């Protein structure tokens, strides 16, 4: 499903114009981004939790040359589905 398809679905379900649905989706995405940037969790009961996970620095290998490389530590986004979402799928 693309963003445009999701906006259309949201507009139909909520009986609102597509422009309002698009603004609402954009606001939701920005809110999740800001929270995660501040290392906060976003929990939607029944749907899931967006959080930030930290990866440690590690050694890797360049598949083309076989040379060993260092992969730096970093923070990555993580989504954990809720019980209702797991059961629905």
- What's the CATH code of the domain at 54? 4.10.520.10
- Please give the C-alpha separations between residue 84 and each of 45, 46, 52, in angstroms, as whole numbers: 9, 5, 22
Q: 54 is in which domain, residue-wise?
A: 41-89
> Domain check: are 72 and 57 in the same one?
yes
> Domain check: are 21 and 54 in the same one?
no
pLDDT of residue 61: 94
Spans of the chain below 50 pLDDT: none
pLDDT of residue 14: 95
> Domain check: are 34 and 46 in the same one?
no
Q: Which residues contact 39 (CB under 8 A, 6 or more apart)?
A: 52, 75
**pTM value?**
0.79
> Domain check: are 89 and 75 in the same one?
yes
pLDDT of residue 2: 96
> Domain check: are 29 and 56 in the same one?
no
Looking at the 3D structure of the chain, how many domains does it have?
A: 2
pLDDT of residue 6: 96
> Domain check: are 21 and 45 in the same one?
no
pLDDT of residue 9: 96
> Domain check: are 32 and 48 in the same one?
no
pLDDT of residue 11: 96
| CA neighbor of 47 nearest in space, from 61, 33, 28, 65 | 28
């Amino acid at each position: 499903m693309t963003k445009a398809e999701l906006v259309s679905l949201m507009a139909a379900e909520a009986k609102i114009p597509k422009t309002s649905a698009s603004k609402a989706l954009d606001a939701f995405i920005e809110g999740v981004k800001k929270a995660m940037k501040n290392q906060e969790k976003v929990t939607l009961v029944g749907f899931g939790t967006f959080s930030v996970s930290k990866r440690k620095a590690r050694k890797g290998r360049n598949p083309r040359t076989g040379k060993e490389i260092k992969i730096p530590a970093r923070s990555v986004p993580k989504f954990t589905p809720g019980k209702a979402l797991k059961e629905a799928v």
